[in-house]
Amino acid sequence: MNATLRTWMPALVRRTRTPAGARERLEAALFWTGCVYNFCHEHATVEGTPALAADLTDHVWSIDELLRYRCRRE
Protein backbone atom coordinates (compact mmCIF):
# COMPACT_ATOMS: atom_id res chain seq x y z
CA MET A 1 0.00 0.00 0.00
CA ASN A 2 2.89 2.37 0.71
CA ALA A 3 4.18 2.17 -2.86
CA THR A 4 0.64 2.64 -4.18
CA LEU A 5 0.14 5.78 -2.12
CA ARG A 6 3.48 7.19 -3.23
CA THR A 7 2.61 6.45 -6.86
CA TRP A 8 -0.94 7.83 -6.74
CA MET A 9 -0.16 10.85 -4.49
CA PRO A 10 3.00 12.74 -5.47
CA ALA A 11 2.63 15.00 -2.43
CA LEU A 12 3.77 12.09 -0.23
CA VAL A 13 7.12 11.77 -1.99
CA ARG A 14 9.97 13.69 -0.39
CA ARG A 15 10.94 15.72 -3.46
CA THR A 16 8.02 16.70 -5.63
CA ARG A 17 6.60 19.58 -7.63
CA THR A 18 3.25 18.96 -5.98
CA PRO A 19 3.36 20.14 -2.36
CA ALA A 20 0.87 18.61 0.08
CA GLY A 21 -0.81 21.94 0.78
CA ALA A 22 -3.33 22.07 3.59
CA ARG A 23 -3.58 19.12 5.97
CA GLU A 24 -7.32 18.77 5.26
CA ARG A 25 -6.65 18.35 1.53
CA LEU A 26 -4.01 15.72 2.19
CA GLU A 27 -6.32 13.80 4.54
CA ALA A 28 -9.16 13.93 1.99
CA ALA A 29 -6.84 12.72 -0.77
CA LEU A 30 -5.62 9.85 1.43
CA PHE A 31 -9.22 8.90 2.24
CA TRP A 32 -10.30 8.79 -1.43
CA THR A 33 -7.11 6.99 -2.48
CA GLY A 34 -7.81 4.33 0.15
CA CYS A 35 -11.42 3.98 -1.00
CA VAL A 36 -10.45 3.56 -4.64
CA TYR A 37 -7.65 1.14 -3.67
CA ASN A 38 -9.97 -1.04 -1.58
CA PHE A 39 -13.20 -0.92 -3.61
CA CYS A 40 -12.34 -0.11 -7.25
CA HIS A 41 -8.82 -1.37 -7.98
CA GLU A 42 -8.59 -5.10 -8.71
CA HIS A 43 -5.57 -6.80 -7.16
CA ALA A 44 -3.60 -9.81 -8.37
CA THR A 45 -2.99 -11.09 -4.83
CA VAL A 46 -6.69 -11.37 -3.92
CA GLU A 47 -9.66 -12.26 -6.09
CA GLY A 48 -11.05 -8.83 -6.92
CA THR A 49 -10.49 -6.17 -4.30
CA PRO A 50 -9.60 -6.13 -0.59
CA ALA A 51 -13.23 -5.11 0.10
CA LEU A 52 -14.42 -8.26 -1.67
CA ALA A 53 -11.94 -10.38 0.28
CA ALA A 54 -13.17 -8.85 3.56
CA ASP A 55 -16.79 -9.49 2.48
CA LEU A 56 -17.64 -5.76 2.63
CA THR A 57 -19.14 -5.78 -0.86
CA ASP A 58 -20.29 -8.24 -3.49
CA HIS A 59 -18.72 -6.62 -6.58
CA VAL A 60 -15.88 -4.42 -7.81
CA TRP A 61 -17.09 -0.83 -7.77
CA SER A 62 -16.61 1.73 -10.50
CA ILE A 63 -15.23 5.10 -9.48
CA ASP A 64 -18.51 6.68 -10.58
CA GLU A 65 -20.42 4.32 -8.27
CA LEU A 66 -18.04 5.18 -5.40
CA LEU A 67 -18.51 8.93 -5.92
CA ARG A 68 -22.30 8.63 -6.04
CA TYR A 69 -22.63 6.30 -3.04
CA ARG A 70 -24.75 7.68 -0.18
CA CYS A 71 -24.21 6.35 3.34
CA ARG A 72 -27.29 5.27 5.22
CA ARG A 73 -27.44 7.11 8.53
CA GLU A 74 -28.98 5.09 11.29
7 domain-assigned: no
Query: What residue type is 74 in one-letter code?
Result: E
Domain that holds residue 65: 22-74
41 domain-assigned: yes
43 domain-assigned: yes
- Residue 43 has φ and ψ, to the nearest 5°, of -115, 145
Q: How far apart are CA 1 and CA 23, in angstroms?
A: 20
Q: What is the pLDDT of residue 15?
A: 61
Each residue's pLDDT tens digit, 3-52 = 667 676 766 666 655 555 677 877 888 888 889 989 999 888 888 899 99
Q: What is the pLDDT of residue 24?
A: 81
Domains: count for the chain: 1
